[in-house]
Structure 1
Amino acid sequence: MKLIILDRDGVINYDSDDYIKSVDEFVPIPGSLEAIVRLNRAGYHVYVATNQSGIARGYYDEATLQQMHDKLRELLAAQGGRVDGIVYCPHGPEDQCDCRKPLPGLLERIAHLSDHPLENVPVVGDSLRDIESARAVGATPYLVRTGKGERTLAKGEGLEGVPAYADLARFVDDFLTNEDG
């Protein structure tokens, strides 16, 4: 089985410093859905790992989050694509959980759900916490410039050896081309 893990906000959909709090605010980044479909067609199982501290902060509830994920699944299905699983951390930074990235809990949950080891599995994110969680499980991190990616690059800390791409579509272009040879 071929596996790839994506962060959500800033990778698949537009992000906001004010949080994505409703289905209407969940807007895919141009090309991101098509990129996921291309990964599916290349035989990849796509999982999403996302921090959703807006739940702990009271900005939205888990039912609203589920509606956002239903919208993502419907938009992908309309193009012949899918995500195989979505795991999220509903906790805030002060909650002392083990699932909030940069901790590896979400990725370990994906390893369990997919019954697939994470060593060298591609993990695409837009923040240092995505990179750190990937490294913690032996996965291979990639950064996109969308979402918080430009800010992450500007800080320049902890990104040694991490390739950066304009967006998810560009990452998938390069990734699938290099996979083919």
Structure 2
Amino acid sequence: MNKCVFLDRDGVLNEDRPNYSYKLDHFKILPGVPEALKQLKDAGYLLVVVTNQSGIAQGIYTEEDMRKCHHHFQEVSEMAIDHFYFSPYHPTVTASLGRKPGSLLFEKAIAKFNIDTVQSWMVGDRGRDLIPAKQLGIRTIQIGDEVEEENRGDFEVGDLASAAQVILSNS
């Protein structure tokens, strides 16, 4: 079985913008992210992004716009991400079990990559990122300063570089 670090996208890997990050000139990778991902890859972790991309359902941007950002991210991070799973749905437009806090995106990755949830981690910046991971027995790290008391991470840190150190120290 494989160990994995699941990653939210906006606010963890790239700057979280109020009006979505879907144009390349607005898609800003956060400092230290490529280096942190390399450390995790070197330690034998699969890296899987699980992200809600509700701007697609709302007609703000297209799936192709999102894929261009993911392609750019892969170029900058030297192809660090093993797979991107996304939910294009928005609760006011289309209901979906695939949208976090649902666990379907995680379950797809677990099945496809034979992931051992006990050895795996989820890094997110919001409680809804952590809920499905906790339900599946995956340890959680919340980054940033918007901690929700009812959905706290097992660890809380400032950024992905710090999260990588927690993971590597607790593996």
Q: TM-score, normalised by structure 1?
A: 0.88
The answer to whether structure 1 residue 168 and structure 2 residue 167 are counterparts is: no
Aligned equivalent of 2:122: 123
**Identity rate, percent:** 33
Q: Structure 2 matches for 1:23-102, cutoff 5 A? A: 23-77=24-78, 82-94=80-92, 95-102=94-101
CA contact (8 A) 1:49 1:86 kept: yes
Residue by residue over 1:99-143, the C-alpha shift from the partner in whole angstroms, topping out at 9 and shown as x without a partner, is 000010111111122122434520000001011111122211110
Structure 1's 138 and 177: CA in aligned 2 closer, same or farther, altered over 3 A?
Answer: closer
Aligned partner of 1:14: which letter? E
CA distance in structure 1 between the partners assigned to 2:116 and 2:128 by the alignment: 20
CA distance in structure 2 between the partners assigned to 1:54 and 1:82 by the alignment: 25
The answer to whether structure 1 residue 156 and structure 2 residue 149 are counterparts is: yes
Shift of 1:42: 1.1
CA contact (8 A) 1:122 1:140 kept: yes
- Gap runs ≥5 in structure 2: none
Q: Number of matched residues? A: 169
CA contact (8 A) 1:120 1:138 kept: no
CA contact (8 A) 1:21 1:59 kept: no
CA distance in structure 1 between the partners assigned to 2:155 and 2:80 by the alignment: 25
Residue by residue over 1:34-89, the C-alpha shift from the partner in whole angstroms, topping out at 9 and shown as x without a partner, is 10011111111101000000101111100111100000110111xxx511100000
CA contact (8 A) 1:103 1:136 kept: no
- Gap runs ≥5 in structure 1: none
Aligned partner of 2:101: which letter? P
Q: TM-score, normalised by structure 2?
A: 0.92
Shift of 1:162: 2.2
CA distance in structure 1 between the partners assigned to 2:116 and 2:3 by the alignment: 10
CA contact (8 A) 2:13 2:29 kept: yes
Residue by residue over 1:2-39, the C-alpha shift from the partner in whole angstroms, topping out at 9 and shown as x without a partner, is 21111110001000121112122111110011100111
Shift of 1:158: 2.3
